[in-house]
Amino acid sequence: MPHAQGAPVTSWAGRTAAEIAAAVRERRITPREVVAEHLARIELLDARVGAFRTVRAQAALAEADEVGARGDLPELPLAGVPVAVKDNLAVRGESTRVGSAATPDTPAGQDHVTVARLRAAGAVVVGLTNVPELCVFGTSEGVYGIVRNPWDTTRTAGGSSGGSAAAVAAGMVPVALGNDGMGSLRIPAANCGLIALKPGRGVVPAGIGDGDWFGMSENGPLATTAEDARLMFSVLADAPDAARPSGAEPRRIAVSVRSPLPGVTVSRPYTSAAREAAKLLAGAGHRVRRADPPYPLWLGTASLAHWTAGTSVDARGLDPRDLARRTRVHAAVGRRFVRSVREGDRRDRLRRRMEPFFAEHDVLLTPALARRGPAAAPWHERGWLRNLLANTAYSPLTPPWNLTGWPAMSVPFGTLPGGAPCAVQLVGRPGSELELLALAGQLAELRPWQRTAPLG
C-alpha cells in the first residue's frame, strides 16, 4: 500500500472498500477512525492533486459516528466506507456548483438518490469533487482549480469526473461516485488507472442536470478493483445480488483498435494494450476475434450535436457573463441542435446498426483512449475549438456507447512509456453489466495493476 513521503503509515487509507466495510462490520475499526485517516490523507495530498472542491471534514466525522451507532451495522455493504461525490450530484447540506461560478451557492435540501443509496448502505461522504464547468469537457479545470493525474501531475486527470478519479487514484477515498455522458467516467479512469463502469440506461437512477444530456448520462462507480466496482454498483442499482462475485464465463469477444472517427488515429500504446488483453482473454478460454463495429460516417456529427445540445439545456437560466468562454460557445453551438436532437432518431439508428454486431459477439474490447491525457493546464481559458480538438483527439472511443445507452467500462491494462497507466474498454449489450465486471476481474487476475499512485 503506497504512502506519500513523510505521511504517517495508516491502517486503512489505501485499502479497498470491501476490506474497510468488512472490518467495520466486524468492529475491528470504527467508521470515525477510517474517515479520519482518509481526511488526513486528503489534507496531505490534495493541494498537489486538486481533486476536491470542498471537503466535509467535521460533517463527515459526525456522520461516521452515526454510522457506527446504527443497529444494522453488521449488515451494511459499505459500512464506514469514505466516498467522494462528483459536484453535479446533490449532497444534503452542500451546494452543487458543477464547476461553475454561474451556479447558485445554495445548500441542497436532500441527497440525490444515488447519494442517498450510498449513505443508506453505510458510506460516508467526505467531499465533493472538482469537474470542468457544467461537466462538458474531458479535462477538469476551472474556477475551482486544475485536477491533476496522481500518476503524473503534469497531466490532466481527465474529465468530467476528474476529481472523483483523482481522489481514488491518490488513495484519498477507496471509491467515488461519478457520471458519464460522453466518456466522463471512463476517460479519467483510463488516465488514472481505475475501473469505471457506465451502466446501461435505466439500471442506475440518472437525474443528472436537466434531462441527462437527452438520456446519454449515467451515474456509476470509480474503484481500484473489480470487487469494489461491483459492490458499489450493487448499491447504486439497488441490486444486492449483484455484489456476489461471479466467474467470467466463456464469451465471444470482438477486439477492435479502429477509431470510430475518420481521421482520428489510436496511438501504439493503446492499440498494443487492446491486442495484448485480447491474447490473454483468448488464452483464458474466450472466443476472441478481430472485428470492427459498423461505425457510421455520421457518428461524429451526431456526437457533436448531442454533446453541445446537452450543454445548451444545462446552461439555460445561468448568467453567461459568469461562464467560461469555451462553455458559452459550446452552449451556443448546441442551441441550433436542441430540436433536432430531441426529435431525431440518430440514437435509435445507431442501436439498430449495432445490434447485429452484438448478436454475433457478446463483448467488444477496444482501447479506452486514443492517446494519453493532455497537459494539466488552464484549458478553461483557451478557445472552444482548441478544447474540442484536444478532446476528440484523445477520446474518440467512448461516445458511441452513450449514444446507444449500452454498458461500457474502462479497465486498467499495462502502462504508457512514461509509467502512467494504460487502459482498455469493454462494451456489452443491455443488461450485461455483471458480465463486463466479471471480465474486468479476470483481466485483473491475468495482468494485475498497482491500485494507487505512488505519490511521494
User: Which of the residues are catalytic?
Assistant: 86, 160, 184
> Cis bond leading into 160, ω under 30°?
yes
Read off φ and ψ for residue 58, nearest 5 degrees.
-70, -40
Half-sphere exposure of 65 (CA within 13 A, CB side): 5
Distances, alpha carbon 80 to alpha carbons 15, 60, 64, in Å:
12, 10, 6
CB 146 within 8 A of CB 51: no
Phi-psi region of 93 (alpha: psi -120 to 50; beta: other; left: phi over 0): left
Output b/e per residue, 259-289; b: 16+ Cβ within 10 A.
Answer: bbbeebebbebbbbbbebbbebbeeeebebe
CA dist 140 and 130 (Å) reads 7
* DSSP secondary structure code for residue 286 in this structure: -
- Closest of 176, 171, 172 to residue 229, by C-alpha: 176
- Closest of 384, 381, 370, 371 to residue 418, by C-alpha: 371
Report residue 26 as a C-alpha cell: 466486524
Total number of residues shown for the chain: 456
Report residue 99 as a C-alpha cell: 464547476
* DSSP secondary structure code for residue 155 in this structure: E
CA dist 440 and 247 (Å) reads 10
Report residue 259 as a C-alpha cell: 477509431
- Closest of 84, 54, 81 to residue 67, by C-alpha: 81
CA dist 27 and 122 (Å) reads 14
CB 229 within 8 A of CB 197: yes
Taking the alpha carbons at both ends of the chain, their separation in whole angstroms is 13
CA dist 371 and 380 (Å) reads 21
Secondary structure of residue 148 in the 3-state scheme: strand
CA dist 85 and 108 (Å) reads 14
CB contact set of 28 (below 8 Å; sequence gap of 6+): none
